[in-house]
A and B are shown apart, each in its own frame.
Chain A
Amino acid sequence: MRPGPHTVLERRVTTQSDLTDTSPAGASRRGFLGYVLGGSTLVAAADLGLGRAPAAHAAVPSPPQVAELYDLEDLQTDAARPTANLITITVDDEGRATFALPRSENGQGITTSTAMLIAEELDIDVEDVVVELAPARPELVFNQLTGGSNTTVSTYTPVRVAAAIAKGALLRAAAVQLRTTVDLLESKAGVIRAPGGASATYGELARAAASETTQRVEVDLKPASEFTTIGTPRNRVDARDIVTGAKKFVTDLDVPDALPTMVCRPPTLNGTPRALRNRAEVLAMPGVTDVAQIATGIAVRAETFGQCIEAIRAMDVEWNGGPVDGEDDESVLAGLRRAALPMAVPKVPVLAKTVDLEFEFMFRSSAALEPYAAIADVRDGRAEVWAGLKAPIVAQKKIAEAILLPTTAITVNVVTGGGSFGHKLFPDHAVEAARASKAMGKPVKLMWHRADEPRQGRVHPLCTSRVRATHLAGQVLSFEQRHTSVETDFSHGLGDMLSATAAELPPGVGNLSVAEGIFALTQELPYDFGVVTQLLTEADRRFNTGSMRNIYSPDVRVANELVVDVLAAALRKDPLDFRLQFLKDERTRAVLERAAEVAGWGKAMPPGTAMGLAVHKEYKGSTACVVELDCRPETVGRTVRDAVTGPRVTKAVFAVDAGLVVNPRGLEAQMIGGFADGLALTLTSSLHLRDGHFLEASWDNYFYTRQWNVPPDFRVEIVDAGVDQPGGAGEAGVAASAAAVACAYARATGSVPKRFPINHDDPISFEVKSFVPPVPAAPTNGRDLTY
């Protein structure tokens, strides 16, 4: 059942103040409109754009910083508002509710939390809710992008409205069947009971509750005081499938004749193929069915992926160079330094003292464990694609451009991804699979080799951040930050969203470049430091970049919090006391106090070890992290085969206020993962650009956090600020973690690190894998390594 394109829903209330009906009991009521759609079973619908009042920023005095009053969450939620398009919940005759979520699940737990929202409003068990991922729905325009930790922020209200409408229809059907009135009925666990004890299940009522014609209905949502599911810890809905190996990712799907396909890639970044010189030889290899030159390299299709790998290794390809041939980290950094904006030189008294530090953050790979993979079947003027995609509408458009078909001829199916971290915002894999399928005239199951991911995949841009602060007589008078970065690619939809919403944005933001706008909408220094300016400049467009989990914030906040510690020391203040003195808002103060208390901030630490702390404010919430870091030689020098060991966080406490929490167990999981990311960003993980290509080609080259880096003692504290709207979770754990570890490192070693990760300039500890061929040989000694 699909609503027509012109279905218009309206919200009964139109302004922020109208939202709250101060009834005598003091309870707030919210009335929302939705539909029971015409059909043979119950289908309830709500506008995905529900849930946000018109932008309130216009009435607010000119803010010192944009993100404080209007942030990326607001942009995404506002961008969704004009798209009057419906999401639907269907109740079947077994009492199950089914919902196609127009977002992408990559491990962040949104299918679980969305099932909880529906279960709450419908009064059924979470197990009776099936949340699927919707295919690309072009009519949703901006409202099918998964990013910016925005899913729950933007869907919290519309999903509940649709569920409430479904329940209302079931209650009305039950009243007829049980010969009573709706107000006397009680619903619980999918059963509706009348006063005399008569009852009917949702499954029995689903057909009776259906409407022959589409009806507009109004509902009130359940008040938070009556929540029994929202706010309770729930396990993931797909946990059992995961632990039994039954969960299907793209390469696990059985699409007829979609044989394994891989691509032989150029030896330098973004090089292009000129010719395959030994085509006949490659085609004659075992298992190989097709070979085709495509834009990014030479694609090969075979009976198994293993045979694709062998074929790639055998290819003799003539390549064109890439745009950064001959370049390295230092040459790119030199370009950034030339582009950096000057400081604004605020007028401060001559006696004021200055802290002026510059930090460098090296390239990092956003690749997930599941490599880029997509299935494509491009034949007879039509295309069908299956992939993990966070912006499927953009994917559909880019596939259309690549294979010269209208978007209406392309079906894009969204498959649960094996991690994203921003990587799957881009449809690189889907476009490449479509090109290969078109060139071969056959379905393909295309997968990137691991080595392809760090070397040719999306990266977090290399950047510098200079901070200059002035202080006098115990006060910080100014805090200026100039962040200069290799360009971040926002062509996945956030960019279009910003342009289309420009007229509604706060003064000044609409005129910025896309990246500068995103920067302004996400960055907020949470301290009262006098004149504060934080500006972004971009300088280099030659790299394959993206919004890696938490975009700019980990780097910006590492630079900020290190300078905050330097300022605290200059003013002879304890880092905790100093922050508490200058923090602007109560929610951030509360998480910092909680984290410091639980971690035992201030306790004596042995020489070579130290505690570090940091805060961050984003995604409608606040976070704080306190760590204990061991930098003693015996720890730093411990050896693990083919690994980076280095300093170890031995204990960490992470406190989070994420607004209204739907699933605390899921929120905790996101903080655990976010911490692991922040730890790697500061201590171990980077790409080295040398002679036009990245050296890393394996998880034993690119050192994302591993078990030997993990703090044995880790605790998440959820702080409840009593807020009635959810904040973001997926990226909220990264920035404060990265910054706390950096601050602890500076305190343990007595010197402020300037380049991140701190091990970047150590001698390369691995044997660099070949660039021709671009993929390493598969080992054969697995039987010797069993345990």
Chain B
Amino acid sequence: MPMHTFTVNGETVTVDADDDVRLLWVIRDLLGLTGPKYGCGINVCKACTSHLNGKAFNPCAVRVGDVAESDEVTTIEGLADTDGTPEGELHPMQEAWLERDVAQCGYCQPGQIMAAVAKVKQVRAEGRSVTEADLDEIRNVCRCGTYTRIREAVKLGAARM
């Protein structure tokens, strides 16, 4: 089987997998990083949302054969080591999630947080701050329905990023 080398959470990894295996399963089943969750496998529920070179993406919809050696993947496990977060501290968005006690079952929350960070950066790159309309665009499903607190936490985290 082909070998694939890329960066995950700052570390270079090499895995032995068919080109066709989606990156979500490489991350979860082969590398053992279980923060990104499976909720649909067809890029709808967004529970696996992670970052690819700093942008939100869904590894359930990317073949490992399409990942290049220069690609940097960040999962929820590596988020606190990005955006200049001081050593040993959580990312401001994670802190906002704690402050608002957002999670219920918690299954969707790694994806929600990764989506929120990317959404804030996207909006900021457009020279704006987060609006209700921006929050309406977040597609991540939360079947516990804690959407209200997600909205509050995204705004709180954005103010601190």
Contacts and interface: CB of A to CB of B under 8 A. Distances in A.
Interface stretch (A54-62, A210-218, A586-594, A779-787): A779-787
Nearest to B39: A369
Interface in B60-91: 60-63, 66, 75-77, 80, 90
Interface stretch (A90-98, A334-342, A665-673): A665-673
B38 A251 contact: yes
A305 B52 CA distance: 22
Contacts of A309: 41
A419 B144 contact: yes
Contact of A306 (B21, B57, B58, B107): B21
B161 interface: no
Most buried by B among A239, A245, A247, A780: A245
B141 interface: yes
Contacts of A108: 104
A731 B53 CA distance: 41
B53 to A, nearest CB: 8
B126 to A, nearest CB: 11
Contacts, number: 239
Given A245-B76, A706-B139, A780-B63, A106 B146 contact: no
Given A676-B147, A782-B61, A235 B38 contact: no
A672 B102 CA distance: 11
A779 B43 contact: yes
Interface in B97-139: 97-98, 101, 103-110, 113, 118-119, 122, 132, 135-139
B143 A239 contact: no
Determine chain A's interface SS by DSSP, over half rule.
loop
A243 B40 contact: no
Contact of B143 (A240, A245, A704, A775): A704
Contacts of A677: 145
A367 B18 CA distance: 32
Interface in B28-52: 28-30, 32-45, 47, 52
Nearest to A450: B40
Contacts of A787: 55-56, 118-119, 122
Contacts of A254: 32
B75 to A, nearest CB: 7
B158 interface: no
A307 B104 contact: no
A418 interface: yes
Contact of B148 (A235, A419, A710, A785): A710
A710 B145 CA distance: 9
A699 B40 contact: yes
A25 interface: no
Contact of B107 (A109, A369, A450): A369
A417 B107 CA distance: 8
* Size range of the chain B interface in the assembly: 35 or more
B30 A304 contact: yes
Contacts of A418: 37, 105-108
Contacts of A642: 44
Contacts of A240: 98
Given A242-B109, A310-B20, A780-B61, A786 B142 contact: no
B141 A780 contact: no
Most buried by A among B38, B80, B94, B122: B38
A708 B136 contact: yes
B147 A705 contact: yes
Given A370-B39, A450-B42, A778-B60, A673 B21 contact: no
Contacts of B23: 782
Contact of A783 (B41, B52, B76, B77): B52
B90 A244 contact: yes
Contact of A450 (B45, B52, B61): B45
Given A240-B98, A419-B143, A669-B101, A370 B107 contact: yes
Contacts of B39: 369-371, 450, 699
Given A242-B110, A669-B146, A786-B56, 17 more contacts: A244-B35, A244-B77, A245-B76, A247-B106, A368-B107, A369-B47, A369-B143, A370-B107, A419-B143, A450-B39, A450-B45, A700-B44, A706-B147, A707-B147, A710-B147, A779-B43, A786-B57
21 contacts: A107-B103, A107-B106, A107-B144, A245-B35, A245-B77, A248-B34, A303-B29, A306-B24, A369-B39, A369-B107, A370-B39, A418-B105, A418-B108, A450-B39, A676-B147, A698-B44, A707-B135, A778-B41, A779-B43, A782-B43, A786-B55
